[in-house]
Amino acid sequence: MHSAIPSSKMFYILLSIVSVSSLYFVVPGVIVAEETPRTFLTHTGLVIQTTGAVIDPIGYDGEALDFDPDKFMKEFDYGEVTVLDDGTVLREYYITARDDQIMEVSPGVFYNVWTFNDSVPGPTIRATEGDLVRIHFTNEGSKPHSLHFHGIHKAEMDGVFESIGTGGQFTYEFYAEPVGLHLYHCHVHPVEEHIAHGLYGAYIVDPKEPREPADEFVFVLNGLDTDFDGENNFYAANTIPFYYQHHPIEINANQNIRAYVVNILEFDAVNNFHLHGTLFHHYPAGTDTVPSGYNDMLTMSQGDRQILEFNYKYPGLYMFHAHNTEFSEKGWVSSFLVKENTDNFDTQVEYDDII
Ligand SMILES: [Cu+2]
């Protein structure tokens, strides 16, 4: 049945629509849900204002950091090398802690990051088994911090009971052992807060006889509690949510890939890693030469790390991500773009040949 609207009634309907719509331009407050800045006192004591759902740096004049996940994942700090009289290789590193910077971790979302060398994660420290590692640590932050390295070392080099105050310095020294993938982080209480804000990094000890050639990457699995409620709002591999989904990592088919994966996620008991399109051999903490399994899934608690070795048989775009759906949908989702292997044939390795 046809129901015609009288033209006079239609006129009033249109007039109403135009009138209400114009309110958006005349009185935008009618439409915008919230525009009044509100003040938050974070659990670190930092005063931050917000106009709505995201924390933004209104009135905050700290330094804004840029972070490049593409650069980070392939950047290793081998230190300054000196060979001592007894033949020992001394590697000296310089790490400075700060806690006053901000980073735009997602479009429009700014977060007060605490940094080692202006980066979250901090630099990936790399040495060879038996090297003497000397780390010159400086705290330029407003709070006490420290460096706690995983691995074998003396108690006084553990970085737990001795906090380094503002402006303080400390030199950590130990031999690089054992072979493997380890980590370091600030160990000042509340440790949860110091880790959640970004004071951590990966630490690789290479065997004296190098591992097989491979295209290598570092993935530090972390999260961001941007509203300070003790739960993560974002998850990521290397800090920036969704980064490697929007910037797929290019690798070659039939080439050995080695991923150093460290889980430092705060607030959630476990994290995981799922690889599409192929399976990996994995080495817990990288301390053994024999892989513990051949899988496409790993579950890791905080502080766990794994070295993964894999290759792709077929070119194409493949995801890797947390199989925990909440984590992947909040940013911990990445991808490899596998290309036909037209070069690098010298580094082609079949797994049966290397294990
Ligand atoms: Cu700290």
Q: 304 alpha carbon to ligand 1 midpoint, in Å? A: 20
Q: What is the pLDDT of residue 64?
A: 79
Of 55 and 114, more confident: 114
Residue 258: pLDDT band with limits 50, 70, 90 = very high
- Confidence at residue 108, expressed as pLDDT on a 0 to 100 scale: 79
pLDDT at residue 349 greater than cutoff 50: no
Calculate how far, in angstroms, residue 56's C-alpha sits from the geometric centre of ligand 1: 23
Q: Does the pLDDT of residue 53 top 60, yes or no?
A: no
Residue 47 pLDDT: 64
Q: How far is the CA of 305 from the centre of ligand 1 (A)?
A: 21
> Looking at residues 34-48, what average pLDDT do you find?
58
Q: How far is the CA of 293 from the centre of ligand 1 (A)?
A: 35
Poorest-pLDDT segment among 13-22, 226-235, 309-318: 13-22
Cα–ligand 1 centroid distance for 147 (angstroms): 8
Distance between Cα 16 and ligand 1 center (Å): 59
How many angstroms is it from 229 CA to the middle of ligand 1? 19
Ligand 1 centroid to 74 CA: how many Å? 25
Query: 224 CA to middle of ligand 1, Å?
Result: 16
CA of 43 to the centre of ligand 1 (A): 14
Identify the pLDDT of residue 45. Answer: 59
Tell me which of 99-113, 141-155, 167-181 is least confident.
Answer: 99-113
Residue 343: pLDDT band (50, 70, 90) is low
Determine the distance separating the centroid of ligand 1 and the alpha carbon of 339, expressed in angstroms: 42
Judge whether residue 315 has pLDDT over 80.
yes
Q: 187 alpha carbon to ligand 1 midpoint, in Å?
A: 6
Share of the chain above pLDDT 70, in %: 78
Give 193 Cα–ligand 1 centroid separation in angstroms. Answer: 8
pLDDT score at 10: 57
**CA of 258 relative to ligand 1 center, distance in Å:** 30
Distance between CA atoms of residues 208 and 206, nearest Å: 6
pTM: 0.81
Whole-number pLDDT of residue 265: 96
Q: Where do we find the tokens 């390295």?
A: 149
**Mean pLDDT value across residues 237-255:** 96
Top-ranked range on mean pLDDT: pick from 47-56, 126-135, 335-344: 126-135
State in Å: Cα 214 to ligand 1 middle.
34
Task: Please tell me the distance between residue 160's alpha carbon and the centre of ligand 1 in angstroms.
Answer: 11
Neighbours of ion ligand 1 (CB under 5 A): 145, 186, 188, 194, 199
